Every structure is written in C-alpha cells, then in structure tokens.
A and B are shown apart, each in its own frame.
Chain A
Amino acid sequence: MYAQMVKSEATQDDPEKLAAFQARIDAGDKIEPKDWMPEGYRKTLIRQIGQHAHSEIVGQLPEGNWITRAPTLERKAILLAKVQDEAGHGLYLYCAAETLGVSRDELTEMLLDGRMKYSSIFNYPTLTWADMGAVGWLVDGAAIMNQVPLQRTSYGPYSRAMIRICKEESFHQRQGYHIMMKMAQGTPAQKKMAQDALNRFWYPSLMMFGPSDKDSVHSAQSMKWKIKMNTNDELRQKFVDQTVPQANHLGLTVPDDTLCWNDEKGGYDFAEPDWSEFFDVIQGNGPCNTERLAARNKAWDEGAWVREGLMAHAAKKRAAKLAAE
C-alpha cells in the first residue's frame, strides 16, 4: 500500500503495562499522543505513517508531470487541485507522525537519504495523458481500499488524518475514472492509449498492497495493535473485485489471461504480479527511483534559503514589535 512492508518493532516493555495497553486497544479505545505506549508501537507507527506521508509527497511528481500539458483548461485546474490535495494529505500525515516524537525535518531527511521508503508505485513513469486517468482510477482506488479501514486505527492522530484524507480521496478516483471514460469513448487512438495505460498500471497497482503476508509475524503484531486492519491479500482481492467490472464498463481489457470469476469464493481469481520486479523497485532499481529522489532533494536544497529567510524575517518582525512596545 502507500506503506508497504512496514516491519513492526519488537517491544521490551513491562508485561503488565503491555497487557493493559492491549486491553485498551481491544476495547476500542483510541491511543493519544501523551498516553503510555510500547516503544514498538511508537516506532512502527512512525515508520508506517512516515512512509505513507512520503508517498503522498513523492506521489505529486508523476501527476505534476502533466499539469502543463493537460488537454483542456478545466482538466488542468482539476489536476492542479488534485495534486494540491496530495500535498495536504502528506501534511496531515507528517503532523500525525510528529505527535510520536519525531520532527518534520528528521522525517524529510530520512526520505531524502533513503533511510525511509515511499510506495513502489511512484517509481513508474507517466508517459501519456491516459496515465492521469489510470493513476486516479487504479492508484488512488488501491489507496482508498487501505485507507478506509485505517480510519478505525487505534492511534487517534492517525485515525483523524485518515478520516480527512478519505473525505477528499473519492474525488481523486472519480476524476481519474472520468478521464478513462473520455479516452475509452474517444477515437481509436485515444482508446488504445487508455488500454496501454491500464496495461502498464495494472500489476504495479496490485503490488501496492505488498506481498502476501499470511505468514508474517510483523503483520500479526500490527493487526493486534490495530495499526494494520486487513491482510494484504484481503485488500488486493477486494481491489480486483471492485476494479474488473469498472474496466469492463470502459470496454477495456485487464491484462491478465487467467482472470476469471470464482463462484465458490465470490471473487475473481487473478494472476500475482511479478514479485521480483516489486523487490527490485523497492531496492531502488525501478524506472524512476533516481529521478524521484533527485527531484525531492533538489526541491529541499533549493528551498533552504526560503525556509531560512522567512524565519529571519519573522525574528526581525518580532524584534521590531518588541522595540515599539
């Protein structure tokens, strides 16, 4: 998902406190920043929320790529609004992570020097306008699958950030599907472009949920703490079941020959993505990893004088106000 393969941290706290903490979670209590929490819970959440926040920020790049070339003024305004929303989502999440005792600059630096990850999906290029449709429809669609249940997560600030994000996310997916509809109903060349976008984004979207976590100890701990609400496989299945009829409605073909309805399980059988490609992208060898991190580093370095200048200006104004009193 936006946070993939987040390892949960081992916890070495007082067993009595741990049991009381677990009882609160089981009872449906929300954990708030000043409450006692196990070190493992805190560290896992920092990693997960941080990775989620970084994904929102890096996720602006593939779509930002098309703002200047949107086909109409209206599409341009819509895309701008969507990308601005992503910046906001990143910010809500950074704020939630900061309540756990990590600073904004620390989080940014960990992204920039590669200590923290962002979702594998944003390391794929957006080659045509149809990709703006596919990203909204499939990538935001996959994100929603994960974010809706996370509104019920045990950590208060994370849950509240998710509620805000989910309110805004539906617009993202619908505008993407709307682009796909226009393209699919357009000229043969436009329809071909839409099909090509679906072909390229289908498997990377399935990878967003992460590898099967049936046997993962980390997942079990995170689910017990209610910071992961469903298994990766459950969410992937749900995504496929929802998306295939939408593709059919567009008259497009999901690029999977094995795809077929399974009456018994009440869902589709589908092919797994190539997990070796996923691990390769995670390791930094995807088509755009270098470009994405370079863009973030450039923005951070070239924005330094603005950040410092505004602080100096604020200090000067404070001093002038004091002098006038």
Chain B
Amino acid sequence: MKHEWPLWEVFIRGQHGLNHRHVGSLHAPDAEMALKNARDVYTRRNEGVSIWVVEAAHITASSPSDKGPLYEPSESKVYRHPTFFDIPDEAGHM
C-alpha cells in the first residue's frame, strides 16, 4: 500500500483580532491530525489564537493567465476611490 497523506493548507489568526492568514502547509491523514500538526509546526512561539486547516485539494485558485480579464476592469474605475472627488476645505472633514 502506498499513498501519501494529503496536503493541508494552514491559516492562523494572530493575537490581534486579525483575519486568519495563510502561513504554510503540511501533510496529515485527516483534519484532526492536520490541526494537531499545525499547532506543533506553526505556533511554537505564540503565533496564533486560532487555526484553520483546509485540504489543499478543496481550494480553487485563479490562474495567472486570467490576471488581465480579472483585474484590468478595476483600473479604469478611478471614481471608486475617495480621492477622485474634490471637496472644498470649507466643507470640513469628510
């Protein structure tokens, strides 16, 4: 019998109420072991207060060749940024 333990991606919430952030990956036979291993590998120095593990096979990622069609449309929409609008100083802080 030969099959490798699946790959899991590990996300950790740091101390300061931030979002969970991707920190790396590891192999584990199941979710329970993935959590335990993630604790040992990625939080040995108080790096987090909460861990998510997701089997890498379940992640769908955008492809680099889609970069144009996906992100170019936002480049022309400068009015989505507050600095597009000139507001006179007399109007006060806005």
Interface residues of A (CB under 8 A from B): 32, 34-36, 81, 84-85, 88, 91-92, 95, 98, 103-105, 160-161, 164, 168, 307-308, 310-311, 313-314, 317-318
Contact = CB atoms under 8 A, between A and B. Distances in A.
B14 to A, nearest CB: 14
Given A32-B64, A35-B64, A84-B44, A311 B24 contact: no
Contacts of A92: 24
Contacts of A95: 24-26
A87 to B, nearest CB: 8
Contacts of A88: 40-41, 44
Interface in B35-77: 40-41, 44-45, 61, 63-64
B64 A91 contact: no
B13 interface: no
Interface of B: 1-5, 7, 24-27, 29-30, 33, 40-41, 44-45, 61, 63-64
Which secondary structure dominates chain A's binding surface?
A: helix
Contact of B5 (A35, A85, A160, A311): A311
B65 to A, nearest CB: 9
Nearest to B26: A91
Contacts, number: 47
Nearest to A32: B64
A36 B64 contact: yes
Contacts of A36: 64
A217 to B, nearest CB: 30
Contacts of A313: 29-30
Contacts of B63: 34
Contacts of B40: 84, 88
Given A92-B24, A95-B25, A95-B26, A311 B64 contact: no
A168 B46 CA distance: 13
A14 B66 CA distance: 21
Nearest to A307: B5
A164 B64 contact: no
A164 B61 contact: no
Given A95-B25, A307-B29, 9 more contacts: A34-B64, A36-B64, A84-B40, A88-B44, A91-B41, A310-B30, A313-B29, A313-B30, A318-B30
Contacts of A105: 2, 4
Contacts of A307: 5, 29
